[in-house]
Amino acid sequence: MSTVSTFPKNTWYVAASSQEIGADKPLGRMVCGERIAFYRDAAGKMVAVQDFCPHRGAPLSLGHVCDGQLTCGYHGLVMGCDGKTVSMPGQRVRGFPAIKSFPVAERYGFVWVWTGEAALADEAKLPVLEFFDHPEWAYGGGLYHIACDYRLMIDNLMDLTHETYVHSTSIGQKEIDETPCKTTVEDDTVVTSRFMSGIEAPPFWKMALRANGLPDDQPVDRWQICRFSPPSHVMIEVGVALQGHGGYDAPNDKKAYSVVVDFITPETETSIHYFWGMARKFKPQDAELTNTIRQGQGKIFAEDLEMLERQQKNLLAWPERQLLMLNIDAGGVQSRKIIDRILAAERAGTAALAPAAAPLAA
Amino acid sequence: MSTVSTFPKNTWYVAASSQEIGADKPLGRMVCGERIAFYRDAAGKMVAVQDFCPHRGAPLSLGHVCDGQLTCGYHGLVMGCDGKTVSMPGQRVRGFPAIKSFPVAERYGFVWVWTGEAALADEAKLPVLEFFDHPEWAYGGGLYHIACDYRLMIDNLMDLTHETYVHSTSIGQKEIDETPCKTTVEDDTVVTSRFMSGIEAPPFWKMALRANGLPDDQPVDRWQICRFSPPSHVMIEVGVALQGHGGYDAPNDKKAYSVVVDFITPETETSIHYFWGMARKFKPQDAELTNTIRQGQGKIFAEDLEMLERQQKNLLAWPERQLLMLNIDAGGVQSRKIIDRILAAERAGTAALAPAAAPLAA
Amino acid sequence: MSTVSTFPKNTWYVAASSQEIGADKPLGRMVCGERIAFYRDAAGKMVAVQDFCPHRGAPLSLGHVCDGQLTCGYHGLVMGCDGKTVSMPGQRVRGFPAIKSFPVAERYGFVWVWTGEAALADEAKLPVLEFFDHPEWAYGGGLYHIACDYRLMIDNLMDLTHETYVHSTSIGQKEIDETPCKTTVEDDTVVTSRFMSGIEAPPFWKMALRANGLPDDQPVDRWQICRFSPPSHVMIEVGVALQGHGGYDAPNDKKAYSVVVDFITPETETSIHYFWGMARKFKPQDAELTNTIRQGQGKIFAEDLEMLERQQKNLLAWPERQLLMLNIDAGGVQSRKIIDRILAAERAGTAALAPAAAPLAA
């Protein structure tokens, strides 16, 4: 890894979904270049320590969790949640060198880790997302590993004209290209929005309309409101409403309204863990619908993988080429400016990110 | 890639067979270290441009061809055949930076590309090969990707004593080793020839004799005339004639006569696209025979792959070792001398290769 | 490879099991960073030469052995056992450059190679192992390729507390952890031993007891005597005896007694060929039992692979971290001291390793 990081460190990143980490087995995952073992203590509280046993360097993530204690799978060293060895069969462990432990939190069904300066970690800085843990909303999602700079994924999500081309059979349609978008910046939040009127819903949204008990053969209004907040969260309000009912502001029984949730976690400078999902504000109790949408979204989002990985290879092959910054790219460009400002502040040694709330108008 | 290329650039290389590139989809392929997207314009004419969208660096080869225009699969930029952007939804593209376009030609069922100085490109410099598009000849072939320096493949084809060892069950026979070859150089062409008399035909040639309605249990004369022409074409006249009818000069109904066609295209300094095939001058209308021969040749030529790739690894592991240059290696040695002369001329800035015609005596 | 080797060179390493090398085909294998072709001469005697044909650099191991002569599979050069070319069709070979040949020996069903200074090679320096070629003993084993420094495998075998964790379902048991081990060094041999009394045999040893006609439901004494000798051989006396019959010294009909055989051969600085096996001193004629034990041991030893490879990756990722040297690590630590002494002597140019005999008390 280069000495100058390309991603902020004093911030929370999603490391895993909660259900990836059970009671018995730790999870090994690299976040921001740090190899980390995640596990739950006896109370079920999340713990994150360096994935390195101080005894002989074995990865702790190959071990087991017994009664909430992480036990190395090689020679039985028991690691504490603070990175200090608790015990080891037949050994006095007082003098064992400690390993790094990482601030970690669990919220919204995700495990969040802070790989920067631990003293700056503060759960108050976790994003506030109203659609999680809310009876009017349902959530489903997944995880993809992609070999690209995390900023290419931000670019992707802040410029949805790509849907017309990459996702032409599901959510793409020519009206996206034809309808200008508007980008605004307020503090550390970038919003790029596009509103289309009187169009035919594309296949994914026809499915959603039917799922909400609405006809799929009538003109609709469609909206896309992409909202970047640091370090790399992109929440996208999306939906369609039957025409003539107020569009984005239509009542719930005249529209299908969701938020595309994107947590983009740098693994290395050129690879990410991409946590994608959809929170929807219709038929929240319908678990089968949640599953149908998750499968559909997973298929659609998989269409981006090859493009992003090949784009990354191209950028590495042509490091001298300048990319264009068009109006459609404004969302990504503004997001990168905010990231650059945060990186400069981190290099200068100033404080961590402010809380990255994502207040929705809905 | 090293700064000094090991392959000539001001010359035509085969990039693809014509049927690899249809009307709808571009083909992405690296030739001489250049990532190139190939496609057909509205008139079906071949186009070759850098595989890099000037908008955000996506590979254009992941896009589509609509009405003969190459459209980027990421955000819909339409690229022109000259590397200048034609249009993009909602954008003025006048100021977009251009990408490189490459001279490209289509001939003999192949797509030829010129990665050097475009001003020097001239279709008159394409090789003239009489056995293509000729009613007395039939052609079939294929493509292998091999991780070796293109010159190792030239060596391989200019010294057919390897048939005795690598292809012992099909075209190899001890008489190849026992019969001296003769190498001559005229201008930029190297010819290595070997004539064997009164031998038993090996299995592949017995099959060919039978296919031409001839007995396979009689003594034959056999010939191999390897002809190198720059940058890396090797045409090999091969065949057997029933003994006593004039050998190489026997009438067509007393022999089975073919030309092994080898176009060797550098992908990188240590990998190639190897276009192999066989043009035969008997039973040209017999499509099933074409297929049988292609399958047989494909199986035989696949036997070289491991040897060439392992040889390449050995040469990289022992860079200081000098290879021997025996009489049997004269064909490859002389071919490399011609290549070295061309490379020196390219470095000195002098002109491109002369046309590489391959006149056959037949 | 670094200029300073991390493994002794003036010593014998196991390169292959004898049955890997038949009469017709050479075997290509890298030992201590040297690419070597192994084959048998006409008398069946083992030969080892550089895997590089002096003609064009092809790997000789892709060739054939005809009448005990190694023939290059590319153009038929015949290589001699001394690295000098014997002949080549149509060539005078007197002036061909020689390749390196390596001292090689065959003993105990293994092929041993000496990659250091040939003048120092001496078969008298081969280890003396009484359990091979002995009617009271039977042997079975296998070969694993592992991407780790050979010393990590020595550490593994000289500290069997890992059995409790890595092999918990077969040979591990908590009493290993609870019973202190004792490490002694005599000349170039390190011995780490552990004796457990009145315990329940773990599943593998219950199987062994039954195989020797003994009950598996009675308390046993169990022993583990790990014996390192340079460069990287670890012989481990293991077994269980019905309690009250003298433990390690119990008569053969009251115990199941074996020696775990480990020959660890560096391939590169970070990869090994690991020859594992078990010599047992009960029911030596029972070939089916040999097979059962080999399969069981193979499954158990495969459990170490991921741990060792991931440990190696961790050590490469954290090169600055010091590993602990606990009492349980004494066997590995002392073994490494001996290795370091030998490496220093090699650098200083003094003589080769003394014979590495492994006298057993049994």
**pLDDT, tens digit, 9 for 90 and up, residues C169-204:** 999 999 999 999 999 999 999 999 999 999 999 999
Same-domain pairing of B73 and B152: no
Query: Three-class SS of residue A106?
Result: strand
Write the secondary structure of B214-282 as one string of H (helix), E (strand) and C (coil): CCCCCCEEEEEEEEEECCCEEEEEEEEEECCCCHHHCCHHHEEEEEEEEEEEEEECCEEEEEEEEEECC
Chain A, 33 to 72: residues with Cβ < 8 Å from chain C are 35, 51-52, 54-59, 62-63, 71-72
Question: CB under 8 Å to C284, separation ≥6 — which residues?
Answer: C135, C136, C137, C138
Same-domain pairing of C265 and C285: yes
Interface contact B76-A164, CB threshold 8 A = yes
What CATH number is given to the structural domain containing A249? Answer: 3.90.380.10
Same-domain pairing of C102 and C225: no
Q: Is the pTM of this model over 0.95?
A: no
Interface contact A165-B72, CB threshold 8 A = yes
**Which tops the pLDDT comparison, A351 or B263?**
B263
Same-domain pairing of B78 and B150: no
Write down the ipTM of this complex. 0.93
Contact B331, B159 (CB under 8 A): yes
Question: CB under 8 Å to A48, separation ≥6 — which residues?
Answer: A15, A36, A37, A38, A101, A102, A103, A104, A111, A113
Q: Mean pLDDT across the stretch A230-243?
A: 98
Task: For residue range C40-99, list pLDDT tens digits in order.
Answer: 999 999 999 999 999 999 999 999 999 999 999 999 999 999 999 999 999 999 999 999
Same-domain pairing of A98 and A134: no
Contacting residues of B for C51, CB less than 8 Å apart: 314
Task: For residue range A304-337, list pLDDT tens digits in order.
Answer: 999 999 999 999 999 999 999 999 999 999 999 9
| Residues of chain B below pLDDT 50 | 1-2, 358, 361-362
**Which one of C159, C307, C327 has the shortest CB-CB distance to A62?**
C307
Give residue B5's pLDDT. Answer: 86
Same-domain pairing of C34 and C176: no
- Tally of domains within chain A: 2
Q: Residue C275 belongs to what domain range?
A: 129-347
Which two structure tokens, joined as six digits, stand for B20?
């690899």
Interface contact B178-C59, CB threshold 8 A = no
Residue of C151, C314, C320 to mutate for A, most A C-beta atoms under 10 A? C314
C315 to chain A nearest CA, in Å?
6
End-of-domain residue from the set C120, C147, C172? C120
**Is residue A361 situated within a structural domain?**
no
**DSSP string of C229-298, one letter each residue:** ETTTEEEEEEEEEETTS-GGGS-GGGEEEEEEEEEEEEEETTEEEEEEEEEESS-TT-HHHHHHHHHHHH
**Which tops the pLDDT comparison, C351 or B154?**
B154
Nearest chain A residue (CA) to C161: A75
Task: For residue range A63-96, list pLDDT tens digits in order.
Answer: 999 999 999 999 999 999 999 999 999 999 999 9
Interface contact B75-A161, CB threshold 8 A = yes
Contact C308, C154 (CB under 8 A): no
A63 to chain C nearest CA, in Å?
8
CA C242 – CA C213 distance, rounded (Å): 12
C25 to chain B nearest CA, in Å?
14
- CA distances B90 to A328, B305, C326, Å, are 9, 50, 69
Question: CB under 8 Å to B232, separation ≥6 — which residues?
Answer: B7, B13, B150, B151, B153, B154, B263, B264, B265, B266, B339
Cβ pairs A/B, distance under 8 A: 71
Name the pairing type of β-strands A182-186 and A255-268. unpaired
**Is residue A21 situated within a structural domain?**
yes
Q: Which chains form contacts with chain A, at 3 or more CB pairs under 8 Å?
A: B, C
β strands within chain C, DSSP E: 12-17, 27-31, 34-40, 46-50, 64-66, 69-71, 78-79, 85-87, 104-107, 110-114, 138-146, 182-186, 189-199, 220-229, 233-242, 255-268, 271-280
C-alpha angle C349-C352-C356 in degrees, rounded to nearest 5: 155
Q: Is A166 on the interface with B (CB under 8 A)?
A: yes
Residue of C177, C324, C325 to mutate for A, most A C-beta atoms under 10 A? C324
Nearest chain C residue (CA) to A62: C307
Q: Cα torsion at C334, C337, C342, C347 (round to 10°)?
A: 170
Interface contact C307-A96, CB threshold 8 A = no
Contacting residues of C for A58, CB less than 8 Å apart: 307, 310-311, 314
Q: Mean pLDDT across the stretch A166-175?
A: 94
**Which one of B164, B180, B318 has the shortest CB-CB distance to C57?**
B318
**Is residue B354 situated within a structural domain?**
no
Same-domain pairing of B162 and B292: yes
pLDDT band at A1 (very low <50, low <70, confident <90, very high): very low
Same-domain pairing of C260 and C137: yes
Interface contact B90-A155, CB threshold 8 A = no
CA B143 – CA B276 distance, rounded (Å): 6
Q: Is A327 on the interface with B (CB under 8 A)?
A: yes
**Is residue B74 situated within a structural domain?**
yes
Same-domain pairing of A93 and A141: no
Whole-number average pLDDT of chain C: 94
End-of-domain residue from the set A103, A120, A137? A120
Q: Is C318 on the interface with A (CB under 8 A)?
A: yes
Task: For residue range B169-208, list pLDDT tens digits in order.
Answer: 999 999 999 999 999 999 999 999 999 999 999 999 999 9
**Is residue C259 situated within a structural domain?**
yes
Question: CB under 8 Å to C46, separation ≥6 — which residues?
Answer: C21, C38, C39, C40, C104, C105, C106, C111
Question: CB under 8 Å to A215, separation ≥6 — which residues?
Answer: A209, A242
Task: For residue range B6-19, list pLDDT tens digits in order.
Answer: 999 999 999 999 99
**Is residue B272 situated within a structural domain?**
yes
Give residue C362's pLDDT. Answer: 39
Contacting residues of A for C313, CB less than 8 Å apart: 59
Give residue B349's pLDDT. Answer: 81
Cis status, amide bond into B231, omega within 30 of 0: yes
Chain A, 84 to 113: residues with Cβ < 8 Å from chain C are 88-91, 96-97
Contact C292, C56 (CB under 8 A): no
**Is residue B6 situated within a structural domain?**
no
Same-domain pairing of A300 and A153: yes
Contact B73, B53 (CB under 8 A): no
Nearest chain C residue (CA) to B320: C57
What CATH number is given to the structural domain containing A65? Answer: 2.102.10.10
Interface contact A57-C311, CB threshold 8 A = yes
Same-domain pairing of B295 and B168: yes
A287 to chain B nearest CA, in Å?
33
End-of-domain residue from the set A120, A139, A170? A120
Give residue B2's pLDDT. Answer: 42
Interface contact A90-C328, CB threshold 8 A = yes
Give residue B1's pLDDT. Answer: 38
Task: For residue range C88-127, list pLDDT tens digits in order.
Answer: 999 999 999 999 999 999 999 999 999 999 999 999 999 9
Nearest chain B residue (CA) to C34: B317
Same-domain pairing of A194 and A278: yes
Interface contact C165-A76, CB threshold 8 A = yes
Query: Three-class SS of residue C205?
Result: helix
Contacting residues of C for A59, CB less than 8 Å apart: 310-311, 313-314
**Which one of A177, A313, A315 has the shortest CB-CB distance to B90?**
A177
Q: Is A318 on the interface with B (CB under 8 A)?
A: yes
Which two structure tokens, joined as six digits, stand for B124?
């008159």
Q: Token pair 């055949």 is at which residue?
A: B81
**Is residue B207 situated within a structural domain?**
yes
**Which one of B57, B72, B89 has the shortest CB-CB distance to A178?**
B89
CA B144 – CA B298 distance, rounded (Å): 9
Of C209, C273, C259, nearest to C359 (Cα)? C259
